[in-house]
């Protein structure tokens, strides 16, 4: 029987392999520019096509950060996480 950790490792490997291909095809990076410059150019083009999509993208990012922060807060306060890592 395959355990949960093994399934997560397999999913991570497939995510790295196929995610890298998707990123390479999605972002058009030139040889003379860095990753941040390429991302800035892509976001500028994304905004010029439809400004409302940038508002939706920003809302999704803020929502994701709030979700992760709330989950971390819950995990620290409602469980014995601090005892497990030796901080309590």
Summarize pLDDT for 37-84 with one digit per residue, the tens: 767 777 787 778 777 887 888 898 899 999 999 998 888 888 887 788
The string of DSSP letters for 26-62 reads HS---TTS-HHHHHHHHHHHHHHH-HHHHHHHHHHHH
Please report where in the chains the tokens 């400004």 appear, as a residue. Answer: 51
In this predicted structure, what is the pLDDT of residue 6?
81
Please report where in the chains the tokens 């601090």 appear, as a residue. Answer: 82
How far is residue 33 CA from its own chain's centroid? 22
Reduced to 3 states, what is the DSSP secondary structure of residue 2?
A: coil
pTM of the model: 0.46
């Amino acid at each position: 029987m395959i355990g949960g950790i093994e399934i997560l490792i397999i999913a991570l490997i497939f995510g790295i392999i196929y995610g890298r291909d998707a990123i390479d095809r999605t972002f058009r990076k030139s040889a003379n520019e860095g990753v941040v410059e390429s991302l800035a150019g892509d976001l500028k083009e994304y905004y010029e096509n439809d400004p409302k999509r940038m508002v939706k993208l920003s809302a999704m990012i803020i929502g994701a950060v709030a979700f992760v922060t709330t989950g971390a807060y819950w995990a620290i306060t409602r469980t014995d996480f601090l005892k497990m890592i030796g901080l309590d």
